Amino acid sequence: MKKGLILQTEAPLRFYSESFKKMVVKEVESGGLTKDGAKRRYNIGGKTTVLRWCRKYGNLANLGIRVGIAMVSEEEERQALKRRVAELERALSNAHLKIEAQEIMMKLAKEKYGIEFEKKFGTKQQNISGQNILKKD
- Tell me what pLDDT residue 93 has: 96
**pLDDT at position 117:** 75
10-residue averages of pLDDT along the chain (137 residues): 56 79 89 87 87 84 56 84 96 96 91 80 60 56
Q: What are phi and psi of 8, to 5 degrees?
A: -110, 135
- What is the amino acid identity at position 93? S
Amino acid 85: pLDDT: 96
Close Cβ partners of 94 (under 8 Å, ≥ 6 residues apart): none
| Residue 32 DSSP symbol | S
Q: Are 58 and 24 in contact (CB under 8 A)?
A: no
Residue 96: the pLDDT is 96
CB atoms within 10 A of CB 53: 22
pLDDT at 63 (0 to 100) = 47
The structure's pTM equals: 0.38
